[in-house]
Amino acid sequence: MHATLPLLNALAFPPLRRGSLEALQVNLTYQCNQRCLHCHVNAGPTRTEAMTDESLGLLHEVIDAHPVHTLDLTGGAPEMHPRFREIVAHARREGLRVIDRCNLTILSEPGYEDLANFLAEQGVEVTASLPCYSRENVDRQRGDGVFEASIVGLRKLNQLGYGEPASDLTLNLVYNPQGPSLPPPQAALEADYKAHLAQDFGIHFDHLLTITNQPIARFGSTLISKGQFADYMQLLRDSYRPANLEAVMCRSLISVDWQGYLYDCDFNQMLDLPAAMPGLIGRDRPHLRNLLQTTSLQGNTIATRDHCYACTAGQGSSCGGSLIE
């Protein structure tokens, strides 16, 4: 049972409008082999939601017809969707950059032993969760044994060329704070990660992406239960930087849920705040089929609430890491 979250204010955050659409971020499934404390999706082993064949067909049509250049696959563990490899292969044939938001431990799960080889063969960019370079901190946040399994996964990726200087296979790691605080400066933390992982485990990677924890879903409920929600929201508001507004990911990305419905970002998806699309009538919600009927979303209003301060606090936060240094 999760604590009831306070109603997020719809008026406080500055208004935002879309730029050109560059990326589709698709939440293929809420199923995951882990159950992390910070997960804004509430993903876990018992979740059964997964993108339907009908929505997958529409996704393929959008990839073929729409001028997007990036397919960003997330979950849950996106690789647990039974048609994950088909989706990746289709997008790569169409020339799209494909990002796999990987938790690393999936690479060692029974039935997924050849997954790393598939990702390398397809030239998929791996963006992998590793919230610390210490065993204790990772296992506290993500479960016992996760750190060791993550190291095994990273070594497997390195052996295939991921993160190596002479390779074109990109390996990014993702850091998020252990609790209700902002991430430290990204460049300095990246240097620490690279030094520790190379020295202690012989592991190499390309970039570290720092992401601010969103005060929603599982993490928001944890804040409520500890009496920290109000203080964390105040920290986010006090740390707001207007300069981050130009680079927030919702201006160039559309988030697609497992049913094919459209949102301005993955966080709005979890809050059930659908993207605005002029022309829809009444209770209609924007869907992949509507994306096939328009050539541009530029200028559309972005749905904002107080949780948006998490993306604009301090150095900023997006699925691509910090926005400014």
Q: What is the mean pLDDT of residues 74-102?
A: 95
> In this predicted structure, what is the pLDDT of residue 76?
85
Q: 289: which residues sit within 8 A by CB, 6+ positions away?
A: 58, 260
- Let me know if residue 8 belongs to a domain: no
Average pLDDT over residues 58-78: 92
More confident residue, 179 or 251: 251
Of the listed ranges 88-102, 113-127, 212-226, the least confidently predicted one is 212-226
Q: If you search the block for the tokens 């910090």, which residue do you land on?
A: 322
- 203-253 pLDDT, tens per residue? 999 999 999 999 987 788 889 999 999 999 999 999 999 999 999 999 999
In a domain, 280, yes or no: yes
Return the SS3 of 318.
strand
Q: Is residue 215 part of a domain?
A: yes
Q: Which pLDDT score, from 0 to 100, does residue 42 have? A: 64
Which residues in 211-302 belong to E strands, given as ranges?
253-256, 262-263
Number of domains in the chain: 1
Mean pLDDT of 136-153: 80
Is 10 domain-assigned? no
> Between residues 169 and 45, which one has the greater pLDDT?
169
Is 17 a member of any domain?
A: no
Count of other CB atoms within 10 angstroms of residue 200: 12
Q: Across residues 294-300, what is the average pLDDT?
A: 86
Which CATH number do you get for residue 242?
Answer: 3.20.20.70
Mean pLDDT of 85-90: 96
pLDDT at 44: 75
- Say if residue 103's pLDDT is above 80: yes
Residue at 325 is within a domain: no
* In a domain? residue 9: no
> Domain range holding 230?
23-312
Cβ-in-10-Å burial (0-12, 13-18, 19+) of 233 comes to buried
